[in-house]
Structure 1
């Protein structure tokens, strides 16, 4: 029982921290294209990515070694929806991540360099989509935990 509780705690803490880092990216992008702090946004994105790995690992360990067991999850459509949404968010995060890395390289090469307006708008848009999709995952989790949809 303690193993399940510890894994749940790690999983939830990592989820909250991951969302905080993504929200930090959104906040840093609110300053406007010319004022973007590319170092901070790249660090926030690295934190977001690292915590996404912790979320996946802790979630997999919960599914394998938690109280409900793998059989509960593998046949639950809401679990598959959660995983699909998480993978979709992960795929959508690739474009902003590549942009942030490119921005950081450009700024380090030329301190006067500014983020192009079109790239700034695209990054903001993708992060907002990620945040909205992430907000759907707890709904799928609640449905899953209560066994409301059966496979």
Structure 2
């Protein structure tokens, strides 16, 4: 049976990283954008990461520019923005597509595992997927669901 650990993702430096490195840890996987009305969610995600990282939580951020071009063209600008404005210390990866013909394989899998309200399509930035320590997608949260709401479900996985 396939899990998120079967995927490789591209790091900001272009190198591939196996998600197997996160095996046994609960994950929040999120498509992000630096110039979106929901961008302040970085603060809530960082708060969860700071609070629960020592208990195993990993948050994996994937910048995406598919929704009204709300991400910087240069990944270094994205990383700088996240660190300077929100103190982001959780892992951020290379920019991905989450819909369409060039959907990143990880996001294709995530969408297959947990569909949205009316379809599997990701509708906007900051769609969040909660993954258990076995690599199974437990829940999907819409873009407007604040990270603090996830804390209740996350606590069950720690």
- TM-score normalised by length of structure 2: 0.26
| Structure whose CA Rg is larger | 1
Higher strand residue share: 2
Higher helix residue share: 1
- TM-score normalised by length of structure 1: 0.26
